[in-house]
Structure 1
Amino acid sequence: MLKELFVFVLGLPILLAFVYDTGQSALADRSLSVLEELIEGPLFGSNLVLYFDPSLDVDFVNNFVTLKVFRYISLIHVDLGSNGSIWSQKQPLEVLRGSYYIHIIICDTDITPFFESVSLEWNPKYILIYSLNADLIWILQEKVFQGIERLAYMSLLPSSLNTTNIRIGLYTYFPFFKENSLSLLGVWNKDSYANVENIFIDRYQSFEGAVFHLGTWFDDFPYLYQSKTEPEGIGEGVEVEMLDAIAATLNFSYTLTTEPPDLKWGAFVNGTWTGMLGMVHRKDKNFTINYFVITSERVKAFDATVSYWMEGFGMSMMSPPPLPKWRGTYYSFRSDVWLGIAVTYILIVLLMTIQDKIQEKPFFGKRTSKWVYFVQALVNQGMTKLPRAQWQRVFIGWWLLYCFIVTIAYTANLIAFLTIPVFPERVQTVQQLAESDYG
């Protein structure tokens, strides 16, 4: 009897270890199947950031990352055993913030140290935590995940812990709910959760009477300013009206500050934020509502609402005086037109000189200047004599017609210039301003 009892006691740990390993293997297989259904179903086509707990079984990780569906997805792998600060500093903004990537965390131990060390820019819209350890649901309540807009958690349902029918539950955490803040949304079924919005529900449908403390400055008329009829510290303006409307819908109240301690709006100086934005960045205040211009530097560090006011900026310059009237004598034609007239005049004189030399009796004698003869028509003066040769007369005729057209055009432009003031070319673009000598 003692021998049989001794054999049973020795064999019990082996049996328990076998049962435990079998259960863990079944859970891993079921988890792998659920993750595959997730990525092939509601998350298909989404860009993913996958975080892996270093304590995960190597075979499980290898089987997961080699799924065929990953061939068609933009994928980033992250080791949760690495330094979160160094990793986040190397990532572009679209990886750290917003909805461009869906972040999936696969773990079976506490992974909060990694996320406590990431940069403040890390704030994705969608995070799914898949835990192979059913006891890690408390992670949803950790401070590092409080600001995540859409947060979901999947793990083994406690009711199926000792059964062969392994069921995976989908949970979320409502930060402002006084009761049932940790909520089971349902049991995973690929048909019931066919799209992203079914998995990542809105966690902020109501703020349950929470009080938010705002970093504000009553120096923002007409948006926010000290009320003339209420006590000190009570604000009025467009932003107060918007806040009251939102607070009534989402069930919260708020407090305002009359001014920031350093009397600054908010700029990034020597590695820290000043003013109202500094109060929010240090988490002294929950948020701010003052009228801020959106800059790339601010977008990197803060989340902003859609714009409720668009304002344009312009540049004013003194109008230049009109050009002096006397400049009309040469401003009537452009520079290239004047150049064309000069070249034509020279060519005419040279051609007439060559023609005159081959004549038995030259038309131009030694006393007659060819230059003066041809310029008479350009200044609207008549010619005193014409050549006898018919072909020379035709040549001169074409020259006279040319001069007639030029003088008519010049006279018309000159009259217009003298009648209507002409201004210098004005600066129309930033490039022209940079190239000008203005100021």
Structure 2
Amino acid sequence: MDSKDSDGESLANSALTTLVSGPLRGYDLLVVTDDHSHRQLDVDRVVAAAGASITPVVVASQISILDTAHPAHYTKSTHLTAILIFYDDPTGFLLRLEDNYHWNPKHLVLLCLNPQLNTTAVLSQPVVQRSQFILLLRSAFRGDQRSLLAYTSLPTQLNSLGHPLIQGPLGRWSPQEFPSRESLFPPRYRDFGGWVLHLSVWCNDEPLVYFLEDGSCTGQNVDALRIIADKYNFQFSLVHGTKDGKWGSYEDEKLVGMLGEVQRLEKDMIINSMLLTHNTLRLLDYTYPHTIDTYGFMIRIPPPMPRWRNILYPFSRLLWGLVFLTMVLVSTILASLHYQLYGIRDPLGLALKVAGGIAVQAMSVRGVRAWWAKVLLCFWWVVVLILTAGYTSNLVAVLTVPVYPNLLETVYDLAKDDIRVAMLDYGSTVPTYLRTTFNPTLAALGAKLDMGPITDPFNLYGEITKQVVAGTHALIVFGDYIDYLRQLHNVTQITYVMKESIIWSYLSWFLPLHTPYTPQLSDTLTRLNEMGILEKLYRMHMGVILSPNLQVRGDGVLNLEHLQGAFIMLVLGLSAASLTFLLEVLISPRPRPASPSPSRPSHPQEY
């Protein structure tokens, strides 16, 4: 064996021993070697020499790594460090490893034992650039001495020739220079160096992304991304629309729309309202959810009930029945007892007077002789006073404001009703969920769900809103976008939002799979959310796109129709008084004509 190779092996063994017993002590390790380095290094002996205090170490060959599917939660774990040791060119192995979607260690160490190998080409491999933190230890000669040089990869920075700094020097390897794990892995994307991220975006996603009058895009997420861009020194471009004209969904075993553009690396990020689904979790990177919301229903307000029935609306049917029954019982019992005990000549008249007290709220008690009956009437008059006051006030209210049938406020009510359900076909998983769920109520909604195609990207909900206005469909819309939609189509006075909603869903930003700076952007976005900045941006942009009188119904001006209650009450009162007077005339006994008194003879002296 050449003395230089022997020195290289000794240096590599020393460095590996220092790593596993020093900065990486206490972390899970996955050590992968090629055949040449496996013969040069005794990895098992190095691990054993590090002591029993380190956590488990997995030692594997390149072939076994390709044949074994390590779960993503293991390889991407913060507690794991992957160490690739190689002497021969690993490009072939790395290209094959690129097909393994689960391989994406957060911390990656590359230990190159061959000083002649082009390590810049190794670092340039996409599967290597997946890792958020990278350390390269490369064997090199300084004269006759062999040493290890430390590098990282900073693709957003430029070298002296204006090229990306794929291999950025960290200095000469020594335990004193790299005492901790943090010193081994400096942040790679602390400064993006003015990079431009190209966004796949639809600028009609209020309030997250929407058009200004000058044609530019703004919104809550645009402002949030601008804050992050200022922090990390990058720029971004917004181009409205996608090549296939689709929003984003999973169709025919592939992603389309914005999701497809990002997956194919045509664009770098999505900041529109895009939901976390099984397919997006599997095929894309995503930030921690910044919004949790539900799907609501926009429904046409039914026409008001007939005006002529207003006199019955203040009381329910049960209350009307109880009032009538009580009135009949009280008047009948009181009149019957007086007829039996005191022999009054007009029991029917007394009964009508007692019953009529509920209308006139006053009556004469001259026909009531017993003290107990007068006490009973006192309690009856109190009840009458309460009933008439409640009826009068409620009647004025229902005459002033139109009375509507019971609105659909629960998913169960909507499922039982004849109205159908509509949703825009933009790739949501809600239709699939409603049609496959075992919940009978949600399944009933799925059975009558109609999907509306996107016919006009600049007026997404135009056709479906017409169906809602016609009263044939209830529209499913995500989050607070439903409020903007009602105002946009000027239907705030004729539609309402159902109280109950369905399916909690999460909104995230999406990036290409295995983007190394995804965790960094995700952490910053989460900080903005936790500090309330996203909420402030949301309220600000909602104030821009929504008018202050969004929920106002009517023009706020009183007219004759609103004041008809008092006049109707007057007519009802006069009608009731006339009817009572007529009944009194018909049933009251007529007085007998008085007999003429005999004439007294005139006294003759008076003449």
Q: TM-score, normalised by structure 2?
A: 0.45
Tell me, what secondary structure is at the counterpart of 1:123? Answer: coil
- Alpha-carbon deviation of 1:270? 4.1
**Structure 1, gaps ≥5 residues long:** 1-17, 317-323, 326-425, 428-432
Partner of 2:516: none
CA contact (8 A) 1:213 1:254 kept: yes
Structure ranking higher in strand proportion: 2
Code of the residue aligned with 1:119 in structure 2: it is N
Which position in structure 2 is the counterpart of 1:91? 70
Contact 1:208 1:252 in 2 (8 A): yes
8 Å Cα contact 2:20-2:47 kept in structure 1:
no
Letter in 1 for 2:189: Y
Distance 1:157 1:437 in 2: 66
User: What is the distance in 1 between the residues matched to 2:229 and 2:15?
Assistant: 39
Residues 70, 102 of structure 2: 8 Å contact kept: no
RMSD: 3.2
How do residues 54-93 of structure 1 correspond to structure 2 at under 5 angstroms? 54-58=35-39, 60-64=41-45, 67-69=48-50, 72-81=54-63, 84=66, 86-87=67-68, 90-93=69-72
Does the alignment pair 1:167 with 2:147?
yes
Q: How far did 1:59 drift?
A: 5.1
Q: Tell me how far 1:313 sits from its aligned partner.
A: 6.1
Q: Distance in 2 between matches of 1:270 and 1:70?
A: 53
Amino acid at match of 1:41: G
C-alpha displacement of 1:104: 0.9
**Aligned partner of 1:244 among 203, 215, 226:** 226
Say yes or no: does 1:127 pair with 2:108. Answer: yes
Q: Deviations over 1:32-56 (max 9, x none)?
A: 1111110111111212222212232
The answer as to 2:180 corresponding to 1:178 is no
Q: Describe the shift of the 1:146–1:437 C-alpha distance in structure 2 as closer, same or farther (beyond 3 A).
A: closer
Partner of 2:424: none
Other-structure match for 2:25: 44
The equivalent residue for 2:292 is 310
Percentage of matched positions with identical amino acids:
24
User: Could you say what secondary structure the match of 2:174 adopts?
Assistant: coil
- Is 1:142 aligned to residue 125 of structure 2? yes
Q: Within 2, Cα distance between the matches of 1:236 and 1:151? A: 36
SS in 2 for 1:99: coil
**How big is each residue's C-alpha offset from its partner over 1:144-166, in whole Å with a ceiling of 9 and x where there is no partner?**
3234321110022432x512xx4
Residue 314 of structure 1 and its aligned partner are, at CA, apart by: 8.2
| CA shift for structure 1 position 137 | 2.3
- Specify the code of the residue in structure 1 equivalent to 2:83: I
Residue 22 (str. 1) matches residue 3 (str. 2):
yes
Task: State the match for 2:593 in structure 1.
Answer: none
1:83–1:114: 8 Å Cα contact kept in structure 2? no
Query: d(CA) in 2 for partners of 1:263 and 1:249?
Result: 33
Question: What is the alpha-carbon distance in structure 1 between the residues aligned to residue 278 and residue 57 of structure 2?
Answer: 26
CA distance in 2, matches of 1:98, 1:142: 21
Q: 1:268 to 1:437 in 2, by over 3 A?
A: closer
Cα 1:37–1:213 change in 2 (3 A) is: same
Pairs within 5 Å for 1:295-334: 295-312=277-294
Residues 190 and 312 of structure 1, relative CA distance in 2, 3 Å threshold: farther
Higher relative contact order (CA 8 A, sep 6+): 2
Q: Residues 119-151 of structure 1: CA distance to partner in whole angstroms, max 9, x if unpaired?
A: 344332211101101233212233332343211
Q: Residue 200 in 1 paired to residue 185 in 2? A: yes
Report if the CA contact (8 A) 2:72-2:104 is conserved: no
Using the TM superposition, name which of 293-302 and 99-108 deviates more. Answer: 293-302
The 1:304–1:29 alpha-carbon spacing in structure 2 relative to 1, beyond 3 Å, is same
Rounded Cα–Cα distance in structure 2 between residues aligned with 1:45 and 1:24:
31
Deviations 1:31-89 (A, max 9, x none): 111111101111112122222122324252455565244854233344224684x54xx
1:113 pairs with 2:96: no
Shift of 1:237: 0.4
Preserved contact between residue 33 and residue 84 of structure 2 (Cα < 8 Å) = yes
The 3-state SS of whatever aligns with 1:168 is strand
2: CA distance, partners of 1:282 / 1:64: 44
2:241 to 259, 284, 289: 259
Give the corresponding residue for 2:477: none
Secondary structure in 2 aligned to 1:289? Answer: strand
State how far apart, in whole Å, the 2-side matches of 1:313 and 1:64 are: 59
3-state secondary structure, aligned to 2:224 = helix
State how many pairs are aligned: 300
CA distance in 1, matches of 2:277, 2:181: 31
Deviations 1:299-330 (A, max 9, x none): 333222233323256899xxxxxxx99xxxxx
* Paired AA for residue 158 in structure 1: F
TM-score between both structures, scaled by the size of structure 1: 0.60
What is the alpha-carbon distance in structure 2 between the residues aligned to residue 151 and residue 287 of structure 1? 23
